[in-house]
Structure 1
């Protein structure tokens, strides 16, 4: 809804706005679906989904260019079709492993009250990762593409290519860090749950932490080598590509390569913090990342243009250092964290989001009951007001 309102005042044409909204809605499903895909372990199906999406998008884009169709609308439609293929394929994969639930879809809101630190961690991480781009658009090198659409090509293109250099760490975390660390992690916690003796717990902890340290060290070294190699070869390779790179863009690229490399390793460490349920540490690291990266980028707009990428670099460095120090501190006394720092009695946390979910659930049930009884279609809003008034005793105005 918010993006739809933005598009209404963005200056885009009706067709461009509909294509943007179509792509946005597809990506909502895709991003949520990808969070569950690794759980089903159907890697061949996942690979085919990505390959089909890329193939359809590229073929449609080539057809648009060959037929001389409007490039903006045609390429937007091509990307939306590609991601649409991924959406359908991924949903089919997920339905094979996760059956249809009978529970209300509105009740997911209760988990925001249960695990608010996780929601904040995700929010802060994405703000730190992308807010610096938006801030740069407001600077001297920002350009108005159309209406409310802005960009900074001199900064955005190097940022996009520099972001690709962290793929090695993203892949390495799934196929190496998690694969080797998780069995040790599972064995260690199973000793607490299944009555293991103290000696076995101590040995399991040492093996788990040794594996974790080794994997994190190799992960950081791999990212370091990739970043160093890319920076060494970037002048030759990027100058040969028709991307219009100048000296300023080369400087942005080198700075952002280092920044994204630090972010990638720091994000890996933060994910390990979440393994140990150190939600406060994850919120602290990601919050500092978002705050420092955004503030430093805003301050950099007052400096010469060659310093623009250093705001994100500083934020990523703080993210990496804080997450690493927090992990070292947290694991230094792990048995205490597990046995003594947890609440003595399990409690369900309820708040505004839980109440909102229950309100919408009851409203939907009453709406469905009324619809089956022949009430006119479109009474959902009146049902919400009626349920709210009955539950909270609010007036009509409220």
Structure 2
């Protein structure tokens, strides 16, 4: 990203702010994942609220002072995410002890769970590729240097993406909170030697809760999407966003596409709960591949069809994920017990070797710095001794 910024055409201040924001988001994203794992949702909410408040107030103050708008808004966002970073890091230090292991050893888990890394990569490609491809199409414009955009498509896409917040929140508050206790009970019986009857009862209860919560989540998203599509023309025309008929069309198509993506993504996360890594990987790869292919094909047709590429990719993603979850849970005891390796396996691949190499290099650098510091200390002591001896000789003389 630094290389990109150097040749992007951005000014030194803009590039520095973009890089600063990038570095903050790397920490924030990982911190948020850990805090979600420990279920400290209240602390996450507070950090988000503080970040939004600081960014909003800072941007208003800087714009009121008639400072350059681009740099002012970038700095406000950077400052807001900086508050979130500090807050989240303090929370992590509260919950997790200080590790003495080398930080490069995390690379061994990429070899251990490579399908998870690829699942995240493909999901991100499927979610954002249609935007990047559109920047290179008929609607794309050159903002500055290497920065491109397609405002007539990007603005409807951003607003359509916000309509899936109801599903994102509902997954954490409803699906995960209500489903997780039954999920934990089921696996506890399997691990702790529960009777066949108790395991069967726990499995039926878990799947019943899962089906009910998924049904309610999909229904809520359907109602929100339908309401937004019904009211969008009245509301968006009242806002100073410059919406035209084409943008209204993109917004409606993308609302449906993002709704299907939200449902498919939740089902994929449930597949990961059941350790169906390859099912989740296949669903995400299908999502990424189909979205890219259909969006590229759509660039050669009329611009009124833009957005249908993402819609088709999200449809395939949701349909495959639901069928995969249904087939996987039809014979869950076999999936959990029969398909797992009998003996624990440790995978040592290229990422593990890279981690060991980086750890060795860091140790060599530390040893070199320690040796250099030791020599400097010895020289300082020697110089001090010589000075003291000269002073003593001078006093005797």
Between the aligned partners of 2:329 and 2:15, the Cα distance in structure 1 is: 50
Structure 1 position 215 matched with structure 2 position 213: yes
Between the aligned partners of 2:38 and 2:323, the Cα distance in structure 1 is: 33
Cα displacement string for residues 56-79 of structure 1 (whole angstroms, at most 9, x for unaligned residues): 111111112111101111111111
1:37 Cα deviation from its structure 2 partner: 1.4
Between the aligned partners of 2:190 and 2:39, the Cα distance in structure 1 is: 27
Between the aligned partners of 1:291 and 1:234, the Cα distance in structure 2 is: 30
Query: In 2 relative to 1, CA 376–164 (structure 1 residues): closer, same or farther, beyond 3 Å?
Result: farther
TM-score (norm 1): 0.93
Task: Give the 3-state SS of the residue equivalent to 1:150 in structure 2.
Answer: strand
The 8 Å contact of residues 40 and 94 in structure 1, kept in 2 or not, is answered as no
Between the aligned partners of 2:187 and 2:96, the Cα distance in structure 1 is: 26
1:203 Cα deviation from its structure 2 partner: 1.2
1:305 Cα deviation from its structure 2 partner: 0.4
Structure 2 residue aligned with 1:319: 317
Q: 1:80 aligns with which of 78, 81, 86?
A: 78
Structure 2 residue aligned with 1:203: 201
Task: Give the 3-state SS of the residue equivalent to 2:98 in structure 1.
Answer: coil
1:353 Cα deviation from its structure 2 partner: 0.3
Between the aligned partners of 1:170 and 1:41, the Cα distance in structure 2 is: 15
Structure 2 residue aligned with 1:108: 106
TM-score (norm 2): 0.93
Q: 2:119 aligns with which of 93, 111, 121?
A: 121
Between the aligned partners of 1:10 and 1:62, the Cα distance in structure 2 is: 28
Cα displacement string for residues 33-59 of structure 1 (whole angstroms, at most 9, x for unaligned residues): 110112344333322211111111111
Between the aligned partners of 2:295 and 2:317, the Cα distance in structure 1 is: 15
1:340 Cα deviation from its structure 2 partner: 1.1
1:375 Cα deviation from its structure 2 partner: 7.1
Between the aligned partners of 1:43 and 1:291, the Cα distance in structure 2 is: 34
Q: 2:279 aligns with which of 270, 278, 281?
A: 281
Between the aligned partners of 1:376 and 1:60, the Cα distance in structure 2 is: 47
Structure 2 residue aligned with 1:47: 45
Within-5 A mapping of 1:181-200: 181-200=179-198
Cα displacement string for residues 148-200 of structure 1 (whole angstroms, at most 9, x for unaligned residues): 00000000000000000000000000010011111111111111111111111
Structure 2 residue aligned with 1:152: 150
**Which 5+ residue runs of structure 2 have no aligned equivalent?**
376-397
1:298 Cα deviation from its structure 2 partner: 0.6
Cα displacement string for residues 331-377 of structure 1 (whole angstroms, at most 9, x for unaligned residues): 11111111111112111001000011011111111221221111799
Task: Give the 3-state SS of the residue equivalent to 1:374 in structure 2.
Answer: helix
Structure 1 position 307 matched with structure 2 position 305: yes
Runs of 4+ in 1 over 6 A off after TM superposition: none
**Which 5+ residue runs of structure 1 have no aligned equivalent?**
378-398
Task: Give the 3-state SS of the residue equivalent to 1:76 in structure 2.
Answer: helix
Between the aligned partners of 2:145 and 2:262, the Cα distance in structure 1 is: 34
Structure 2 residue aligned with 1:139: 137
Larger radius of gyration: 2
The 8 Å contact of residues 293 and 316 in structure 1, kept in 2 or not, is answered as yes
Within-5 A mapping of 1:315-394: 315-374=313-372
Structure 2 residue aligned with 1:252: 250
Cα displacement string for residues 10-45 of structure 1 (whole angstroms, at most 9, x for unaligned residues): 111111111110111111111111101123443333
Between the aligned partners of 2:277 and 2:265, the Cα distance in structure 1 is: 14
- Output the aligned Cα RMSD: 1.2
The farther-off stretch of 312-321 and 341-350 is 341-350
Structure 1 position 21 matched with structure 2 position 22: no
The farther-off stretch of 31-40 and 352-361 is 31-40
The 8 Å contact of residues 110 and 353 in structure 1, kept in 2 or not, is answered as yes
1:80 Cα deviation from its structure 2 partner: 0.5
1:138 Cα deviation from its structure 2 partner: 0.4
The 8 Å contact of residues 32 and 44 in structure 2, kept in 1 or not, is answered as no
Cα displacement string for residues 275-301 of structure 1 (whole angstroms, at most 9, x for unaligned residues): 000001000000000000011001000
Cα displacement string for residues 317-340 of structure 1 (whole angstroms, at most 9, x for unaligned residues): 000000000000101111111111
Task: Give the 3-state SS of the residue equivalent to 1:303 in structure 2.
Answer: coil
Between the aligned partners of 1:336 and 1:197, the Cα distance in structure 2 is: 16
